[in-house]
């Protein structure tokens, strides 16, 4: 059927985002803009320090290295949310150790932290979902609750 409409069939067709039960996707436009802005600020600070400080070259290099590491650490949370994938089978998220994937039915604990952040845990790992990274945070909460209910996973417990 897809070939008849001129669409090249693929192994896994992406769900139509206009359907009612489509998985929520992160609002990448503002996250990418924020990461780009923070990158510019961090680079500007390094350049200004290099121009005005009377430090030896090795001290400047050490400062630039530490400042860059701090910037990468600060932006990692935003990058993780961009690459978090929710679908009807489960949730996957990028981590320092690789891709972390959980099926909805394997989730044993769901806790809600500050600002609506959800922590989904199974016996081996946990995935943090920040609904503020999405256009409609309440829709993300509801969609996850629906998926957990269908899979028979536990209800959310509120922790602060």
Q: How many domains does the chain have?
A: 2
* Per-residue pLDDT tens over the stretch 33-85: 888 898 899 889 988 888 888 889 888 889 989 998 998 888 888 888 888 99
Domain boundary (18, 47, 81) is at 81
Q: What is the pTM of this model?
A: 0.66
Confidence category of residue 155, pLDDT binned at 50, 70, 90 = low
Residue 138 to residues 13, 18, 27, 115, 143, Cα–Cα distance (Å): 27, 18, 14, 12, 9
Show the domain range for 117: 87-158
CB 63 within 8 A of CB 55: yes
What's the average model confidence in pLDDT over 112-116?
Answer: 85
Q: Is residue 8 part of a domain?
A: no
Domain check: are 94 and 150 in the same one? yes
Are 92 and 152 contained in the same domain? yes
88-92: which pairs have CB atoms within 8 A and are 24 or more residues apart?
Answer: 88/21, 88/23, 88/147, 91/120, 91/127, 91/129, 92/127
């Amino acid at each position: 059927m897809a070939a008849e409409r001129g669409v090249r069939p693929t192994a896994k067709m992406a769900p139509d985002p206009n359907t009612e039960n489509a998985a929520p996707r992160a609002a990448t436009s503002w996250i990418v803009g924020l990461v780009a802005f923070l990158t510019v600020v961090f680079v500007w600070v390094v350049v200004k320090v290099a121009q005005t400080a009377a430090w030896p070259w090795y001290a400047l290099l050490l400062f630039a290295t530490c400042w860059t590491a701090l910037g990468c650490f600060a932006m990692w949370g935003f990058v993780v949310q961009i690459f978090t994938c929710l679908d009807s089978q489960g949730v996957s998220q990028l981590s320092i150790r690789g891709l972390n994937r959980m099926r909805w039915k394997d989730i044993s604990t769901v806790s809600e932290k500050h600002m609506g952040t959800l922590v989904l845990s199974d016996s081996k790992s946990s995935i943090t979902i920040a609904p503020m990274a999405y256009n409609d945070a309440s829709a993300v909460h509801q969609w996850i609750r629906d998926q957990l209910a269908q899979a028979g996973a536990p209800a959310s417990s509120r922790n602060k």
